[in-house]
Amino acid sequence: MRITSASIQHHTLQFKFEAGTSRGTLKEKDTWYLKLYAENKLVGIGEAGPLKGLSVEPLDQMETQLEKVCEQLIGLQIPTAMEEAFEIAHSVCPDGFPSIRFAVETSLLDAINGGKKLIFDTPFYQGKERIPINGLIWMGSKEFMQKQIQEKLDAGFDCIKMKIGALDFDTELSLLKSIRNHYSKEQVTLRVDANGAFKAPEALDKLSELAKLDLHSIEQPIKAGKNDDMAFLCSKTPLPIALDEELIGINNKEKKLALLEDINPQFIILKPSLVGGIQSTLEWIKIAESMDIGWWMTSMLESNIGLNAICQLASYLKVKMPQGLGTGQLYHNNIASPIRIANGETFYNLNSKWGSI
C-alpha cells in the first residue's frame, strides 16, 4: 500500500498556568501534526513539536519544511519494518529539523501498524504495563512551588523533579529541605533541573549543598557548550549530573561519542523531538550504555500525540527508573487520549478513546 496523500495541521497548545523555566515563562506552544493517508484513510500521524528558545529549528520555517516533506512522502510504499521507516525518514527529512524527523518516523511506524496510534506493540499499549514517572515542579513563587510539591506528593508520586534557577538558591534549598525533612531518599527520589542556570565558578559549591539533601541527580547545572567546565564538574561532583541541552544539535554518531567521552557525565536526558527522533535516541542509548552512562527519557511538552509515541518507546526499551512523561495534563486543549496518570505512573487506559484531531 502506498501513501496517497499527506498533510500538516498546526495546533497551538494553551498551558493551564504560566510554566516557568530559567529561560522564561511558557503560556502556549506551537505544534504541527503530520498526517499520512492511503486510499483516503488516515493511516499514520506524527507530531513535530519544537520548543521555542531550546530547539535548533526556526519556527517560522516549520510549515515550509513540513510541506516539502509531505511532497516527498506521497507515492512512497508504506514501510513494513522499523528500519525501513528510519531509512525513509532519513531520506526525506531536512537537516536541522529534529522534531520533523520524529514526526516522520512516528507517522510511518503508525502506518506500519494500521493507523491505530500504535508505534511499538508493547505491554504499555496493551494496557498491561505502567511506566514510573517523575512529578514535575515548575518554577514560580515559593508559594506556587510549595503548592505543586504538596499536590504531587498527595497524588502518590515517589519521584519529584524540581526546576531551579528562578528563585534565590537559599529559597530553593529550603523547598527541597522541606521535602527531605518528611521523606527519606528511600521514600521520595528528588531530582533537580537547573537548565544551565549556574555560573561555572560557583557550580561545584552549589552541587555540594544540593548533595547534602540526598538528591538523585541534577540536570544541566551550567550552560551547554562549556565542555571543559562540564567535564570538570562531572569528574568532581558529589551529585550525579545529567546532560540535557548539551545534546542539542549533535547528530553525527562520532560527535555523540566524542561528546560523552569528553564530558563523561553520570546520565543523559533524551528528548526524541530534540535529539533527532527515535533512531537518534536509540543511537545515543547504545553509546551511553557502552560507557556505563545512565539515561532516561522525557517528553518536550508535546501534545498527547507525541507523548504517546515516547511512552511506547520507553516501554519498548523496558525502562525501570522514573521517566519524564507526565506532561499530558499541562494543556487546556490537548488531544483527548487513553494516556492516564495515577500514583506516579502513566498508563494506557483501554476504556478511553482518542479525540479527533
pLDDT at residue number 27: 86
Q: Is the dihedral of CA 120, 30, 134, 229 positive or negative?
A: positive
Q: Mind listing the pLDDT tens digit for each residue in 76-90?
A: 999 999 999 999 999
Contact criterion met (CB below 8 Å) for 135 and 298: no
Domain boundary assignment for the chain: 5-112, 131-348
Q: Which of 204, 196, 209, 267 is nearest to 233 (CA)?
A: 204
Lowest mean pLDDT among 19-23, 86-90, 261-265, 337-341: 19-23
Say what percent of the chain tops pLDDT 90.
88
Amino acid identity of residue 158, one-letter, is D
User: In which band, very low, low, confident or very high, does the pLDDT at 23 lie, cut at 50, 70 and 90?
Assistant: low
Q: Mind listing the pLDDT tens digit for each residue in 143-155?
A: 988 999 999 999 9
Fold of the CATH domain 5-112: Enolase-like; domain 1 (3.30.390)
pLDDT at 71 over 70: yes
pLDDT at 334 over 80: yes
Distance CA 118, CA 110 (A): 5
Say what percent of the chain tops pLDDT 70.
99
Q: Mind listing the pLDDT tens digit for each residue in 219-260?
A: 999 999 999 999 999 999 999 999 999 999 998 999 999 999
pLDDT at residue number 225: 94
pLDDT at residue number 166: 77
pLDDT at residue number 251: 87
| Average pLDDT of the segment spanning 271-289 | 97
| SS3 per residue for the chain | CECCEEEEEEEEEEEEEEEEECCEEEEEEEEEEEEEEECCEEEEEEEECCCCCCCCCCHHHHHHHHHHHHHHHCCCECCCCHHHHHHHHHHHCCCCCHHHHHHHHHHHHHHHCCCCCCCCCCCCCCCCCCEEECEEECECCHHHHHHHHHHHHHCCCCEEEEECCCCCHHHHHHHHHHHHCCCCCCCCEEEEECCCECCHHHHHHHHHHHHCCCCCEEECCECCCCHHHHHHHHHHCCCCEEECHHHCCCCCHHHHHHHHHHHCCCEEEECHHHHCHHHHHHHHHHHHHHCCCEEEEECCCCCHHHHHHHHHHHHHCCCCCCEECCHHHCECCCCCCCEEEECCEEEECCCCCCCCC
pLDDT at 22 over 60: no
| Average pLDDT of the segment spanning 166-172 | 89
CB count in 10 Å sphere of residue 238:
12
State the Cα torsion 130-268-246-315 to the nearest 10°.
-30
**Positions marked catalytic:** 163, 271
β pairing state of 217-219 and 189-193: parallel
Fold of the CATH domain 131-348: TIM Barrel (3.20.20)
| Average pLDDT of the segment spanning 103-117 | 97
Distance CA 218, CA 223 (A): 13
The pTM score is 0.95
pLDDT at 21 over 80: no
Separation of first and last alpha carbons in the chain: 24
pLDDT at residue number 17: 80
| Average pLDDT of the segment spanning 333-347 | 96
pLDDT at 138 over 90: no
